[in-house]
Structure 1
Amino acid sequence: MTSHFAVFGHPIAHSLSPRIHAAYARANDIDLEYRAIDAAPEHFKDQLASFHRDGGAGANVTLPLKLQAYGYCTELSAAAQRAGTVNTLRRSAGGWSGHNTDGAGLIRDLTERHSLDLRDRRTLLLGAGGAARGVLWPLLDSGLRELVICNRTAETADRLADSVGDPARVHTRYWDDLAQQGSFDLIINATSAGHGDGAFSLPFSLIGARATCYDLSYGNAARSFIAWARAANAAQALDGLGMLVEQAAESFEFWHGVRPETEAVYAQLRASFLSDAAD
């Protein structure tokens, strides 16, 4: 019997999730249908209810709906509670169970695919919205020495830092003061800056000698940040394609009880991106 799954977002036509989950399903002999559903925030609740009535068993949720999804859940995983947002839903008799797989996906990509030891790293997290909240706790759990949160709206960064309750390790800084903050070993872009047309611009002094720069977005949305990091001679400049593949695997396991192998899917998608760039 075919299981029905979907990814909700606005916009969503660009999403690679249907392709990724179809590959995972084939590799694990699971019969599923997975589609993308464009849902504006004001229509998301009704569309999610309709999806369930039509047999929907689970869903991924992306921008700008993760906070709304959190509010629709009757049960939340520990990861979702800490993040305060949900990117994965599973239907049960009591309603929607919510989970957040973003942080786990990021850590797997950094530590396993890119062999990065996160312990004792001085880290700069750019942004304090849902994307940042999704990765904050797993980053701290990985053993970072210091985490500096910087957001264009300083009050939002302060609230996020206060929610952690670790002032010895987690600090906030004003965006305009970044040039005076020294260098970092890891810089993570969790802002939506790359989704516009402007170039990403920050002081090159932020990038330490062994720095890894990582954009949670991928494709065109990550290009301006990656270009900035490469221009500043970062040791590694990475986009979030690997995180996408890994968080999808975490969602797949949440639904089906088996964690798929990810490397072949990642390699195929990366090759596709490189081919598109060459055209």
Structure 2
Amino acid sequence: MMATPPRFVVIGNPVGHSLSPAIHAQFAMETGTALEYATLLAPMEDFAGSASAFFEGGGRGANVTLPFKIEALRFAASATDRARLAGAANVLTSTGGRIAADNTDGAGLIADLTRNLGVSLAGARIALLGAGGAARGVIAPLLESRPAALVIANRTLDRAEALAKEFASLGPIEARTLAGVADGSFDVLINATSTSTKGTPLALAPGCLARGALAYDMAYGPAAKPFVEHARALGARGSDGLGMLVEQAAEAFLVWHGTRPATAAVLATMRARP
């Protein structure tokens, strides 16, 4: 009798729109890996209950999406350094019934910027817009890329200053208001605010972007379209975060299966979806 494939899920609320099942199915096909991967809708007030039931029922691993990434870190019995630095987890793994947390978002962003978009981060001036969980999760990997400067810009300066202070030992980082990036001439500008997902326009001043700069939105699909089009109208390259989604999934696949799948074909497939 054939063994039951290991089971994986993506947990969120909402979660029905998630591309993770399709991404991991294609990774599995490319690598010859047997697995089952589904979505798991957790009640807003009971992430821990849903996650516990999944793992107690034999689940092997879970991706975690909004709004549960901070809870996922608290839920786990142990965590990697990158999850602790991020203050959140998007990957949970069960080993002998013990749950470990990891965070692959930062690695996914760096992979998309450097491999897929051809951006050199070493020596670059980078602006990271937002000081919430999405921004926090990528600060350490961005600083590890040795930029000339990383500016955390937020609507309220105190939150940006708190993040800059916390990560100051890792590299050149400073805090500004969103208006404070207007004359920054940044080589890379990353939108980690919730404006795109909430349908709220985020205006960019022309002076915030250097010649040939990349303006990148962590959101993807229709939600990111206004930001990307606005950046292109200012003469910058523009990209949404679909590549980050695929690359962070590949990092999670590596955590679970010991091999990092190729991503180009998967990204092309996801990009071609209606």
Aligned twin of 2:245: 244
Counterpart contact for 1:104–1:247, Cα < 8 Å: yes
Separation in 2, partners of 1:162, 1:47: 35
Note the C-alpha offset of 1:48: 0.5
Residue from 82, 89, 113 that aligns with 2:85: 82
Partner of residue 140 from structure 1, selected from 116, 140, 143: 143
Match of 1:253 in 2: 254
The one of 27, 34, 39 equivalent to 2:30 is 27
Distance 1:205 1:166 in 2: 29
State TM-score, norm by structure 2: 0.94
SS in 2 for 1:133: helix
CA contact (8 A) 1:149 1:170 kept: yes
State whether residues 39 and 47 of structure 1, in contact with CA within 8 Å, keep that contact through their aligned partners in structure 2: yes
Quick one: which of 39, 62, 65 aligns to 2:65?
Answer: 62
The farther-off stretch of 85-94 and 137-146 is 85-94
Which residue of the partner structure matches residue 206 of structure 2?
204
In structure 2, what residue type is equivalent to 1:183?
S
Partner of 2:192: 190
For residues 7-44 of structure 1, what are the alpha-carbon distances to aligned partners after superposition, in whole Å with 9 as ceiling and x for unaligned?
11111111100000011111222221111112243111
Secondary structure of 1:252's counterpart equals: helix
* 2:128–2:192 Cα contact (<8 Å) kept: yes
Q: How many angstroms does 1:227 deviate by?
A: 1.6
Which structure 1 segments of 5+ residues have no match? none
Contact 1:106/1:247 (8 A) holds in 2: yes
Amino acid at match of 2:83: A
Deviation at 1:120?
0.8
Secondary structure of the equivalent of 1:161? helix
Distance 2:199 2:132 in 1: 20
The answer for unaligned runs of 5 or more in structure 2 is none
Please say which of residues 185-194 and 88-97 is displaced more in the overlay.
88-97
1:101 Cα deviation from its structure 2 partner: 0.5
The structure 1 residue matched to 2:47, chosen from 30, 44, 68, is 44
Pick the aligned partner of 2:235 from 212, 233, 236.
233
Instruction: For residue 88 of structure 1, report the CA deviation from its aligned partner.
Output: 0.4
Runs of 4+ in 1 over 4 A off after TM superposition: none
Cα pair 1:185 1:210 within 8 Å, conserved: yes
Q: CA–CA distance in 2 between the matches of 1:153 and 1:74?
A: 34
Q: Is the CA contact 2:144–2:170 (under 8 Å) kept in the aligned structure 1? A: no
Quote the RMSD (CA, aligned, Å): 1.5
Read off the aligned partner of 1:227 and give its amino acid letter.
E
Deviates more, 1:96-105 or 1:162-171: 162-171
Give, in angstroms, the shift of residue 199 of structure 1. Answer: 2.4
Using the TM superposition, name which of 256-265 and 162-171 deviates more. Answer: 162-171
Residue 268 of structure 1: aligned partner? 269
Q: CA deviation at 1:167?
A: 9.3
- Kept in 1, the 8 Å contact 2:108–2:245? The answer is yes
Q: Amino acid of the residue matched to residue 38 of structure 2?
A: R
Q: Does 1:215 align with 2:223?
A: no
Deviation of the 1:121 alpha carbon: 0.8
What's 2:163 paired with? 160
Give the whole-Å Cα distance in 1 for the aligned partners of 2:119 and 2:6.
37
Aligned AA for 2:218? L
Query: Structure 1's 89 and 117: CA in aligned 2 closer, same or farther, altered over 3 A?
Result: same
Instruction: Provide closer, same or farther for how the CA distance between residues 44 and 168 of structure 1 changes in structure 2, counting only shifts above 3 A.
Output: closer
**Cα displacement (A) at 1:129:** 1.2
2:132 aligned with 1:108:
no
Which amino acid in structure 2 is aligned with residue 216 of structure 1? M
SS in structure 1 opposite 2:93? strand
Provide the rounded CA distance (Å) in 2 between the counterparts of 1:109 and 1:177: 27
Q: Residues of 2 paired with 1:87 and 1:168: CA distance?
A: 24
TM-score, normalization: structure 1?
Answer: 0.93
Structure 1 residue 93 displacement after superposition: 2.5
Provide the aligned length of Structure 1 versus Structure 2.
271
More displaced 10-residue stretch of structure 1: 158-167 or 19-28: 158-167
Q: What amino acid sits opposite 2:270 in the alignment?
A: L
CA contact (8 A) 1:74 1:94 kept: no
